[in-house]
């Protein structure tokens, strides 16, 4: 069943989470993510904690998750930075939860009310050590609703923290949204208080710390990698809009992909929604194009990874300081095509 209404992006995240069975939310106010916290307070079935900081919030989510609740937190860049160690913990103790990051311009306090896409590499590599987060990045209010549910499902299936990326533009956007149902995955892990398990942040085998055994570590990391990759394969989510006769593929996601749609009659467009792990199909798709151009609101983060995936140089259009200007994009595309970037 679907129904239509006018909704703000952040509210859609809150509604999607509730629909997916959210029972616990811990967060700390921050622009442009606070509306998620504000909205969730309205739902008696969700225990909402406003904590002393984002470190407490992510750790409380780990505790709540292991205790049996579907848990989520939401923040923006500064808070996301503070949460990195906790995200690593959630991977290590295999606690399913969702971290929403409504990106704003950084580094540091940056431009709090302006959207950005500067946290992509932090999503992938922000915590220390090897781990493999599944990350979704929708581009509309409808999709924010849907992918909040998918993120919660993927977390349950992978027993890992899944990141839902948003940005200040789509987070604060109000538009007509279609709320589409998604089949909800239930918790498979037994909650705390059901056995003799010891969940530890140390390298471990089952309940036993193995902090000095290289083989135990190799096994653990290989296991985590395989587990998240297997689940990610069930969530191959992207949009591909080919144009007959185009030799150019534009890659964009989140708010920027909405600007890319303006060029969809001239250039083919590829929009990854599950942005990590990267969509393998892109390798095959990109082969059909002479030029691949990534447009993103940062200094070239996804571009770097697209080049690594495709083993070829790609064009890049940086959109910095919260500005998305179609004339500027047009100019930059021209420059990419004439080889004078």
The residues of the shown chain that bind another protein, judged by CB under 8 A, are: 23-24, 26, 47, 49, 51-53, 55-57, 59-69, 71, 85-86, 89, 93, 191-202, 207-209
Count Cα atoms within 13 angstroms, Cβ side, for 51.
20
Min dist. Cβ of residue 196 to another protein (A): 5
Rank residues 57 and 103 by Cβ distance to another protein and give the closer one: 57
Nearest to 50 by CA among 74, 69, 70, 66: 74
Rank residues 21 and 86 by Cβ distance to another protein and give the closer one: 86
Rank residues 94 and 239 by Cβ distance to another protein and give the closer one: 94
What backbone torsions phi and psi does residue 295 show, to the nearest 5 degrees? -115, 130
Min dist. Cβ of residue 75 to another protein (A): 15
Nearest to 253 by CA among 230, 278, 285: 278
Min dist. Cβ of residue 62 to another protein (A): 6
Min dist. Cβ of residue 181 to another protein (A): 26
Min dist. Cβ of residue 217 to another protein (A): 16
Q: Give yes or no for a contact between 175 and 204, defined as CB atoms under 8 angstroms apart.
A: no
Spell out the residues 6+ positions from residue 212 whose beta carbon is closer than 8 angstroms to its own: none
Rank residues 216 and 337 by Cβ distance to another protein and give the closer one: 216
Helix, coil or strand: residue 91: helix
Rank residues 65 and 101 by Cβ distance to another protein and give the closer one: 65
Min dist. Cβ of residue 214 to another protein (A): 19
Helix, coil or strand: residue 24: strand
Min dist. Cβ of residue 335 to another protein (A): 47
Q: Counting Cβ atoms within 10 Å, is residue 261 exposed (0-12), middle (13-18) or buried (19+)?
A: middle
- The C-alpha torsion from 314 through 310 and 150 to 204, rounded to 10°, is -120
Rank residues 83 and 319 by Cβ distance to another protein and give the closer one: 83
What backbone torsions phi and psi does residue 156 show, to the nearest 5 degrees? -65, -40
Min dist. Cβ of residue 37 to another protein (A): 16
Rank residues 90 and 250 by Cβ distance to another protein and give the closer one: 90
Question: What is the C-alpha to C-alpha distance for residues 73 and 91, in angstroms, rounded to an integer?
Answer: 15
Task: State which H helix or E strand residue 231 sits in.
Answer: helix 214-232
Question: What is the C-alpha to C-alpha distance for residues 135 and 9, in angstroms, rounded to an integer?
Answer: 17
Rank residues 80 and 114 by Cβ distance to another protein and give the closer one: 80
Task: Find how far residue 170's CA is from the centre of its chain.
Answer: 13
In order of 125, 140, 241, 253, the CA distances from 264 in angstroms are: 32, 17, 7, 14
């Amino acid at each position: 069943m679907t129904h239509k209404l006018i909704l703000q992006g952040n509210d859609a995240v809150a509604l999607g989470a509730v629909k997916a069975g959210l029972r616990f939310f811990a967060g700390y106010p921050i622009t442009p993510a606070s509306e998620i916290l504000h909205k969730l307070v309205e739902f008696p079935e969700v225990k909402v904690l406003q904590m002393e900081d984002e470190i407490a919030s992510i750790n409380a989510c780990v505790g709540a998750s292991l205790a049996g609740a579907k848990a989520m937190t939401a923040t923006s860049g500064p808070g996301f930075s503070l949460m990195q160690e906790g995200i690593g913990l959630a991977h290590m103790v295999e606690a399913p939860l969702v971290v929403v990051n409504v990106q704003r311009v950084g580094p540091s306090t940056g431009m709090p009310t302006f959207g950005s896409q500067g946290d992509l590499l932090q999503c992938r590599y922000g915590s220390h050590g090897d781990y493999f987060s599944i990350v979704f990045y929708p581009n509309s209010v409808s999709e924010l609703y849907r992918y909040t549910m998918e993120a919660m499902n993927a977390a349950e299936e992978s027993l890992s923290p899944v990141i839902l990326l948003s940005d200040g533009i789509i987070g604060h956007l109000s538009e007509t949204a279609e709320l589409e149902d998604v089949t909800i995955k239930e918790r498979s892990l037994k909650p705390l208080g059901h056995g003799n398990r010891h969940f530890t942040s140390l390298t471990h085998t089952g309940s036993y710390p193995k902090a000095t055994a290289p083989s135990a570590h190799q096994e653990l990391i290989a296991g985590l990698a395989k587990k998240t990759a297997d689940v990610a394969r069930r969530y191959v989510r992207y949009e591909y809009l080919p144009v007959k006769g185009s030799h150019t593929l534009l890659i964009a996601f989140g708010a920027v992909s909405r600007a890319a749609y303006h060029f969809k009659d001239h250039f083919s467009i590829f929009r990854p929604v599950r942005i990590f792990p990267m969509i393998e199909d892109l390798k095959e798709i990109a082969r059909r194009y002479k030029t691949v151009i990534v447009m993103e609101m940062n200094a070239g983060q996804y571009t770097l990874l697209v080049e690594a995936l495709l083993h070829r140089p790609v064009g890049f259009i940086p959109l910095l300081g919260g500005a998305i200007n179609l004339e500027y994009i047009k100019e930059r595309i021209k420059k990419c095509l004439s080889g004078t970037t």
